[in-house]
């Protein structure tokens, strides 16, 4: 048996695996949020690789414990009915999903929604045609025709309300964000690892593996950790836990040390480094223009700094394309004015 949070660990019994997973749960419940500030954490275990409970790859799952409540012999022998197994599977999956908001995603059923709107649209078009055909009959003052027309208008009114409601609701659903790939991967791994094999688990795993983008996340998406964030965290997490405000190192009774740091410090460091890089990008061409007379060297340095500025803005900031174009254009204009003077 293996823990999908720690691929390098192998466990000989389910009880040993559950004890290991309980350690993940305790860490995550302690560190997820404190006073509205997000904390990162890493566990140094002498017997295993470093765990990162705050990262997507190390989200703990309480569901295996829930799954183990059912006797393993009953699961293996198949004595539990399909309905009971399906209920147990969905209960365990619900425990996993409510543990972390990033797992709160569901299928949109986009194809069915669109087909339903098309069917309702076709029905309304047919009713509209029938209403147009009956207008000539109404002019003849036929009582039966008037009653039929009144019933038709009432039916159209009901169908229109259903159609408009469906249209507005699907418009709202289609605006929901897509879940992160790491969250989908975690749930897919959980389905593969769980001992509860339901008729619905295979179908759900297939929808998660199809990568058709038909899922919608309910929770508001938090700020994504960029590669620069992960690099900074990977290099400085020990220092932040020992030296920075909000950081601390806890020795666990079960062994190992828990390093905790404030993610705000990483954000502050990244902003400082970004400010320094942008300042150097602006100052280097000015220094070259002031002390170098070779026009080819000046042009090469200026163009290189302009390209470098665009790369920095595109990779380390959330600037849009037109904002990057405006910033680089203004940068080039300043250098041209400085060159003319």
Is 295:277 a contact under the CB 8 Å cutoff? no
Mean pLDDT in residue range 201-209: 70
pLDDT at site 124: 95
DSSP E strands: which ranges in the chain? 2-3, 6-10, 33-34, 37-44, 105-107, 215-217, 248-251, 257-262
Residue 18 neighbours by CB under 8 Å, 6+ apart? 64, 65, 68
- Going by pLDDT thresholds of 50, 70 and 90, the confidence category of residue 119 is very high
Is 337 or 14 the better-scoring residue by pLDDT? 337
For all residues of the chain together, what is the average pLDDT? Answer: 73
Choice among 1-5, 174-178, 243-247 with the minimum mean pLDDT: 1-5
Q: How far is CA 17 from CA 2, 157, 185, 278, in A?
A: 7, 60, 21, 49
Say if residue 196's pLDDT is above 70. no
Task: For residues 31 and 240, give the distance between their C-alpha atoms in angstroms, rounded to a whole number.
Answer: 15
The 10 Å Cβ neighbour count of residue 305 is 22
Is 58 or 28 the better-scoring residue by pLDDT? 28
- Give me the sheet containing 248-251, strands edge to edge: 33-34, 37-44, 257-262, 248-251
Say if residue 214's pLDDT is above 60. yes
Report the percentage of the chain scoring pLDDT > 70.
65
Enter the tokens of residue 127: 């009713």
pLDDT at site 126: 94
Is 109 or 197 the better-scoring residue by pLDDT? 109
pLDDT at site 161: 95
109 three-state secondary structure: coil
The 10s digit of each residue's pLDDT in 127-159 is 999 888 887 665 566 777 778 888 899 999 999
pLDDT at site 33: 45
Choice among 41-50, 66-75, 246-255 with the minimum mean pLDDT: 66-75
Say if residue 7's pLDDT is above 60. no
């Amino acid at each position: 048996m293996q823990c999908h949070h720690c691929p390098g660990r192998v466990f000989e019994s389910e009880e040993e695996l559950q004890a290991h997973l309980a350690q993940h749960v305790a860490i995550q419940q302690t560190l997820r949020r404190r006073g509205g500030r997000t904390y990162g954490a890493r566990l140094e275990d002498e017997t295993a690789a470093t765990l990162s409970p705050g990262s997507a790859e190390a989200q703990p799952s309480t569901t295996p414990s829930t799954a183990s409540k059912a006797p393993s012999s009953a699961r293996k022998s198949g004595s539990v009915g399909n309905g009971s197994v399906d209920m147990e599977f969905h209960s365990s999956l619900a425990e996993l999903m409510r543990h972390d908001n990033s797992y709160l995603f569901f299928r949109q059923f986009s194809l069915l929604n669109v087909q339903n709107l098309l069917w309702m649209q076709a029905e309304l078009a047919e009713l509209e045609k029938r209403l147009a055909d009956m207008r000539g009959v109404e002019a003849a003052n036929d009582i039966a025709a008037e009653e039929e027309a009144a019933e038709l208008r009432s039916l159209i009114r009901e169908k229109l309300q259903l159609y408009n409601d469906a249209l507005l609701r699907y418009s709202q659903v289609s605006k929901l964000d897509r879940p992160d790939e790491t969250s989908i991967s975690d749930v897919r791994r959980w389905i593969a690892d769980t001992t509860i094999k339901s008729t619905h688990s295979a179908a759900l795993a297939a929808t998660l593996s199809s990568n058709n983008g038909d899922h919608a996340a309910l929770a508001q998406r938090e700020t994504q950790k960029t590669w620069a964030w992960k690099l900074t965290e990977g290099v400085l997490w020990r220092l932040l836990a020992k030296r920075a405000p909000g950081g601390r190192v806890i020795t666990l009774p079960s062994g190992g040390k828990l390093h905790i740091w404030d993610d705000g410090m990483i954000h502050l460091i990244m902003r400082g480094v970004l400010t320094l890089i942008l300042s150097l990008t602006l100052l280097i061409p000015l220094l070259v223009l002031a002390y170098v007379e070779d026009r080819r060297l000046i042009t090469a340095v200026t163009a290189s700094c302009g390209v470098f500025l665009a790369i920095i803005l595109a990779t380390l900031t959330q600037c849009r394309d037109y904002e990057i174009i405006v910033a680089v254009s203004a940068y080039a204009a300043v250098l041209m004015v400085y060159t003319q003077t």
